[in-house]
Amino acid sequence: MNIIEVKSYDKMSEKACALILDQLKESDKSVLGLATGSTPEGMYQRLIEQFNAGNVSFKNATTFNLDEYVGLAADDPNSYKYYMNDKLFNHIDLPAERAFVPRGDAANLEQECRDYEKRIAEAGYVDLQVLGLGLNGHIGFNEPGTPLNSRTHVVDLDESTRHANSRFFATMDDVPSQALTMGIGTIMESRQIVMLVSGEKKAEAVRQLVNGKVTSEMPASVLQNHENVTLIGDTEALSKL
């Protein structure tokens, strides 16, 4: 695993943006895997700046997001589709029909999971997957105990995850109890993985990710088995290594 220590959240965002630009330089038809949460927001801002400066175009790219809450439609401000539109898609030239997010309001969720896998395969699989890290070691919404070979599926969210994400919702009751997520096996098929971590509260999860044993109880530990992972973290997040 390639570990890059940076001094600040801003530097982490800058470095992550640079890796995405490198990928798009290699092929403007790249397939990017995208994440939500607070961590990648700075990276998205920088990508928009680079787009506005004329340094990058997304018009031939395809993106697949990791996950979505069950029951939330695209126009719900708490849905990950809304987040992506707001933080990135509305500000760049990525064609809407190639900006994929699992549909949390699909009538048949199992079918939506199968279709999502099919779309990823048809696009030629993910070239560069951006990941954040849950406090309990989840990647996407793959909670502890998820089989390491899992594909896109419906998950019951851990209470700890609902609690961590409740900051975005009006009340705890509004936080969905289920989500759709790319599986760990799906994520591991990406050619390159860029994991972003920031802040002291992630330090213990980062320690287990890098130095712990590979176990489904700590989903992110599986990244030790991937041959092209770059972990970009600020000093606080890497403080337990």
Enzyme catalytic residues = 67, 136, 138, 143
Q: Are the C-beta atoms of 64 and 126 separated by less than 8 Å?
A: yes
Give min distance, CB of 162 to ligand GLP, in A: 9
- Radius of gyration of the chain from its Cα atoms, rounded to whole angstroms: 17
Interatomic CA distance for residues 123 and 98, integer angstroms: 9
Rounded to 10 degrees, what is the CA torsion of 12, 13, 19, 25?
-160
- Give the residue, chosen from 33, 42, 102, 134, that forms a contact with ligand GLP under the rule CB under 6 A: 134
Give the interface segment with ligand GLP, choosing from 16-24, 34-42, 49-57, 88-96 (CB under 6 A): 34-42
Q: Are the C-beta atoms of 113 and 152 separated by less than 8 Å?
A: yes
Give the interface segment with ligand GLP, choosing from 5-13, 35-43, 47-55, 106-114 (CB under 6 A): 35-43
* Alpha carbon of residue 44 to chain centroid: 12
Q: Determine the 3-state secondary structure of 34 from DSSP.
A: strand
- The answer to whether 92 contacts ligand GLP (rule: CB under 6 A) is no
Give the interface segment with ligand GLP, choosing from 48-56, 134-142, 218-226, 233-241 (CB under 6 A): 134-142
Please say which residue, 133 or 229, places its beta carbon nearer to ligand GLP: 133
Site for ligand GLP in 159-188 (CB under 6 A): 161, 165
- The answer to whether 36 contacts ligand GLP (rule: CB under 6 A) is yes
- The answer to whether 104 contacts ligand GLP (rule: CB under 6 A) is no
Show the 3-state SS of 78-89.
CCHHHHHHHHCH
Interatomic CA distance for residues 69 and 80, integer angstroms: 7
- Give the residue, chosen from 12, 32, 35, 175, that forms a contact with ligand GLP under the rule CB under 6 A: 35
Give the interface segment with ligand GLP, choosing from 16-24, 31-39, 83-91, 206-214 (CB under 6 A): 31-39
Structure-token pair, residue 48? 């928009």
Please say which residue, 56 or 143, places its beta carbon nearer to ligand GLP: 143
Q: Are strands 67-69 and 99-100 parallel, antiparallel or unpaired?
A: unpaired
Q: Is 171 exposed, middle or buried (0-12, 13-18, 19+ CB in 10 A)?
A: exposed
- The answer to whether 141 contacts ligand GLP (rule: CB under 6 A) is yes
Binding site for ligand GLP (CB under 6 A): 35-39, 66-67, 132-134, 140-141, 161, 165
